[in-house]
Amino acid sequence: MPLITRFAPSPTGYLHLGHAFSALTAWRRARVGGGRFLLRLEDIDATRCRPEFAEAILEDLAWLGLDWDGDVRVQSAHLAEYRAVLDNLSARGLLYPCFCTRAEIARSVAAPHGPDGPIYPGICRDLSPAGRAARIAAGTPFALRLDMARARAAIRAPLAFDEEGEGPVHCTPEMFGDVVLGRKDTPVSYHLCVTHDDALQGVTLVTRGIDLKPATHVHRLLQALMGWPAPRYAHHPLLTDEHGRRLAKRDLAATLRDLRARGVTAEEVRARATPLAGPPRCAN
């Protein structure tokens, strides 16, 4: 089976060295193995994504010398597909509307924290159908949360994802609690869109930063619930300096555009965006 991998940035700003590293990691994997490299713009969050950043991503990647196979998938053009997944899960009783504001949740939680912050204490999980209907009818905004206990019960078998170089990783998505899959301002969540699209696009190897590894526990659960295939995962370390330390803010903040304007060449960025290479050299 040919390898299919992808780079899936969110156009919330200009690409920086960390992005270049991630994109190059995926691109090199595809290109050395005769596989396919896909580009996807994860622009569902209309409050943070901007078209000019999307355009800049394509331009910066081309400047870096990366090419991609097929059309760029732009998530905001596919809302109906994600909505259909929400409807499917909802019809199976796996979602519930949550009317809590962030402030209410923060106040009510002396609660344990998960990888993404406080775990939702379940305030709206047991609202009566009439209570829910009344609030919806009154126009109270709500998010759609996955009922984690029900979702786990729907999948009896233990779940694992296959991490390259590590083997099967036992999944514990409950560490996130009842995750939000849809929201008032962002119609569908990252977890849902990313998993849907990797399945739809036939991605066989997900390459992305290690900071997203915990989220994979939720993604594997969604794959099992929706009957989607499970790709392999290769979570790469975050870009470090020559001493193996995480990049300084100053280096991380430097966008590819800044570097380019300062006379750094694409070859130099490519060399820098490789584990354990030296810092980028600047003309001034």
Give me the residues that bind ligand GLU (CB under 6 A), please: 8-10, 42, 194, 208, 212
SS3 55: helix
| CB closer to ligand GLU out of 58 and 212 | 212
- For ligand GLU, the closer CB: 66 or 98: 66
User: Nearer to ligand GLU by C-beta: 19 or 272?
Assistant: 19
Residue 29 or 208 with smaller CB distance to ligand GLU: 208
* CB of 8 vs ligand GLU, minimal distance in Å: 4
- Rounded CA separation 77/193 (Å): 12
Nearest to ligand GLU of 22, 280 (CB atom) = 22
Minimum CB separation of residue 96 from ligand GLU in Å reads 26
Could you give the angle at the alpha carbon of 18 between the alpha carbons of 264 and 279, nearest 5°? 45
- Cβ pair 26, 37 in contact under 8 A: yes
Round to whole Å and give the CA distance between 170 and 181: 22
Q: Tell me the closest approach of the beta carbon of residue 161 to ligand GLU, in angstroms.
A: 13
Q: Rounded distance, CA 69 to CA 270, Å?
A: 20
Picking from 102, 107, 143, the residue whose alpha carbon sits closest to that of residue 125 is 143
Torsion on CA atoms 69, 50, 236, 155, rounded to nearest 10: -90
Least separation, in Å, of the C-beta of 265 and ligand GLU?
25
Q: What is the Cα–Cα distance from 62 to 68, expressed in whole angstroms?
A: 9
Q: Looking only at Cα atoms, what is the longest distance across the chain?
A: 66
Give the nearest distance from C-beta 140 to ligand GLU in angstroms.
29
Closer residue to ligand GLU in complex, CB, 8/181: 8
Q: What are phi and psi of 9, to 5 degrees?
A: -75, 155
